[in-house]
Structure 1
Amino acid sequence: MKQQIRQFDDINVVGLEHEAGDGLHAEVMQLDHGIKLTMVKGEIAEDRKFPLPLRRHALTMVFVAVGSVSLAAKAPHGRVVLGAGDAGLLSAGFAFGPTILSASEELSAVFVELPRAYMAKVFGELCPDGLKAFVENDPSERVYREITSCASIQSVLHQMSAAPVGVSLRSLFLTSKTYELVALGLERLSIENCDCRLTPADVERLKRARDILSENLSDPPSLIALAHEVGINDFKLKKGFKVLFDNTPFGYLKERRMIAARSALMKGEQSVTTVANQVGYTNLGHFAAAFRKQFGTTPKAMKKVSRIQISGAAIRNGMMGEAAV
């Protein structure tokens, strides 16, 4: 694998070339307080190892917008896999195992490295119990916490990927969005440790309800049926969802539908109508309105951008093949 580095002020854009002709690249930017942003984006023809941007006295937030990232974990977990829309907080111990970027037509992931000293300063004596392991424990241990998805995080990730500013303002834009992403992620991590009358059993039931919705985007159960399936009453289901996921069950379902639709459209293989039907929409107008509200663009425009990117990658790969001959 070769690396090509271009310098944009304080942003290093690292292009990763692979024998299979992958169009993958990473942007690395150093912020104040020792925080480091790494954005990985592009196409991957086959699974590949990726060195996590982790130091011994730091931890990392991982956000996956499109594609899949697999992280080495100690037994009995085996590996931690983050798919589209997933996020998590990792201790530095994960740097000692390989991170796998899974083969996909499109990958978009963000890594934010946070020094442990910075985390200790942010929380001081008010550090939530669920985060103390990251600030106080042996950094060689592999500690992982899920960051529950919310519409605000997905919106910021999309804005960072699109970055609707000129090159001269890109550094400023990404800096502000990185801090916003960190604040939202820490807020989501703190919520699970708040005094909100949710027992650990309630949290597990709510997460199971969330997973059921994610697994049944085109034909989800009713609110009453969902509550019955996970063993919780519908009132606590609605209230607990709002506390834990910053959304209603229906709002979360719509958010996951849009994430799945975006991933499908970025592959460029299916029509907007097919994608809409796959995520449970029979009315294209309603689908387009929901998509635009989530990502600030239409499904048709997203698919058009994807076709341009795929065509560009094909041309680049063809040129590389001719050069090899």
Structure 2
Amino acid sequence: MTSIRQNLTYKARTESFSETDINGCVYGDDLLRLALRTGKEFKIANPHLNSESPLIKGRFHNFRCHSGLAVHATDTVSLHDLATGSILQPRLSVAVILEGTVDLELGSKHVTLGNDDGPAGHLWMLTRKEHFRRTSRKGARLRKVIVTLPPSWLTAEMDGGKAEESGLQSFFSQHLALRSWTPSEHILKLAEQVIALQSGSRLMRCMAAESKAIEIVMAALDEISAVPTTASEPAIANDHLPPQTRARAERIRAYLLRSLDRQFGLDDLASELGLSVASMQRAFKAAYGCPISEFLREHRLLRARDALQQEGVSVSEAAYRAGYNNPANFATAFRKRFSIPPSSIRG
């Protein structure tokens, strides 16, 4: 009879290049050999299963590249309520959650990755070793790509000064820093391609995974470094929001700030974010205390004011940048907001 082990534990091996691909059932010993590439010690603490028990089913793909970058891609369904844990090394992790949610504990922080309304992106930074615990529900499907970079990847960026200028250095230096981001359609396609990688030699698959993963990381870092932080930008108004609602609101805000040049309706915005209009509006107002339309109007008017003062653009051009087809309507809104006509502050 096969003995039951209360905890399945496996010490990680150090390899410079590897790929593991499972398409079917993933067993206890498989997880102990594979998932461990993200930590020194990995445990399946619950349920108490033997090594031959199937734990999840689907596609489970791990790449560990020469550069130290690691890619973990899955399209799986949990066959049990599972709790797993490990001790993680310092790292930057970038996640694209295509479907499903996963609950994590990183040290003292509880994090929910993904949302029920569509794809989501997340980043987190560990500057020192940290305990990690993940729980999943029986029957839950999870489609995700997680890219992990060691601190050596970030050193050149920080030493060059660009990270400090863009605000990334603060993120890289903060233990348990967490941010949400909005993957574009292109990034979502890259994540799908990483999950589906099958053809070619092991080396070619690893190179393909690494190149796509680097592009995913670049997009995430570009987004969090590009989001402006100004005194006029509203802070989260409700400190007691559930983590999932907070993350959703931050995704919406980041997308809005990147899209001030575009004109779009709420239906279009919700579709691009993978949310319903109702849930999008509800999450944003709960977090920031104002409707999305008010947030857009405020930031577009601020941008128009800056263009008038700093660039000396015409009132018609400022109106266009603020999204107004009629300069007279823009002038009325501008005067109402700043108590002066736009023509009086041109540089």
Please state which band the TM-score falls in when normalised by the shorter chain: 0.5 to 0.7
Where 1:29 maps in the other structure, the secondary structure is strand
Number of aligned residue pairs: give it. 227
The one-letter code sitting in structure 2 at the alignment partner of 1:66 is E
Where 2:123 maps in the other structure, the secondary structure is strand
* 1:102 shift after superposition: 4.2
Inter-partner Cα distance in structure 1 for 2:77 and 2:301: 40
Change (3 A) 1:136 1:216: closer
Is 1:69 equivalent to 2:102 in the alignment? yes
The one-letter code sitting in structure 1 at the alignment partner of 2:152 is A
Q: Which has the higher helix share?
A: 1
TM score, norm. by length of structure 2: 0.52
Q: Do the aligned residues in 2 keep the contact of 1:54 with 1:113 (CA within 8 Å)?
A: no
Paired residue for 1:217?
Answer: 276
Paired residue for 1:284?
Answer: none
Inter-partner Cα distance in structure 1 for 2:297 and 2:129: 39
Q: Do the aligned residues in 2 keep the contact of 1:27 with 1:40 (CA within 8 Å)?
A: yes
Task: Show the 5 A alignment for 1:57-206.
Answer: 58-73=91-106, 78-83=110-115, 84-92=118-126, 95-123=130-158, 124-128=160-164, 130-137=167-174, 141-163=175-197, 165-167=199-201, 169-193=204-228, 199-201=232-234
Q: Do the aligned residues in 1 keep the contact of 2:99 with 2:119 (CA within 8 Å)?
A: yes
Structure ID, larger Rg: 2
Q: Do the aligned residues in 2 keep the contact of 1:62 with 1:89 (CA within 8 Å)?
A: yes
Where 1:33 maps in the other structure, the secondary structure is coil
The one-letter code sitting in structure 2 at the alignment partner of 1:62 is A
Where 2:176 maps in the other structure, the secondary structure is coil
Q: Do the aligned residues in 1 keep the contact of 2:75 with 2:144 (CA within 8 Å)?
A: yes
Deviation by residue 1:47-74 (Cα, 9 ceiling, x = unmatched)? 3234569423x22112211221212146
Paired residue for 2:38?
Answer: none
Where 1:127 maps in the other structure, the secondary structure is helix
The one-letter code sitting in structure 2 at the alignment partner of 1:112 is V
Inter-partner Cα distance in structure 1 for 2:290 and 2:223: 26
Where 2:234 maps in the other structure, the secondary structure is helix
The one-letter code sitting in structure 1 at the alignment partner of 2:112 is V
* 1:201 shift after superposition: 1.4
Paired residue for 1:17?
Answer: 27
Inter-partner Cα distance in structure 2 for 1:66 and 1:55: 27
Structure 1 stretches of at least 4 aligned residues deviating more than 6 Å after TM superposition? 202-206, 218-222, 237-240
Q: Do the aligned residues in 2 keep the contact of 1:53 with 1:113 (CA within 8 Å)?
A: no
Change (3 A) 1:236 1:47: farther
Paired residue for 2:332?
Answer: none
Q: Do the aligned residues in 2 keep the contact of 1:47 with 1:102 (CA within 8 Å)?
A: yes
Inter-partner Cα distance in structure 1 for 2:216 and 2:123: 12
Inter-partner Cα distance in structure 2 for 1:91 and 1:21: 28
Deviation by residue 1:125-170 (Cα, 9 ceiling, x = unmatched)? 1115643244334xxx322122233222212111212337434532
The one-letter code sitting in structure 2 at the alignment partner of 1:64 is I
Where 2:190 maps in the other structure, the secondary structure is helix
Q: Do the aligned residues in 2 keep the contact of 1:117 with 1:135 (CA within 8 Å)?
A: no
* 1:33 shift after superposition: 3.0
Deviation by residue 1:166-223 (Cα, 9 ceiling, x = unmatched)? 34532232122111111111111211257xx78431898994793894696277899x
Change (3 A) 1:235 1:99: same
Inter-partner Cα distance in structure 2 for 1:193 and 1:39: 31
Q: Do the aligned residues in 1 keep the contact of 2:94 with 2:124 (CA within 8 Å)?
A: yes
More deviation, 90-99/110-119: 90-99
The one-letter code sitting in structure 2 at the alignment partner of 1:201 is P
Where 2:146 maps in the other structure, the secondary structure is strand
Paired residue for 1:256?
Answer: none
* Structure 2 gap ranges (5+): 1-7, 29-52, 238-245, 254-265, 303-347
Deviation by residue 1:232-279 (Cα, 9 ceiling, x = unmatched)? 255567899xxxxxxxxxxxxxxxxxxxxxxxxxxxxxxxxxxxxxxx
Inter-partner Cα distance in structure 2 for 1:65 and 1:162: 13
More deviation, 181-190/147-156: 147-156
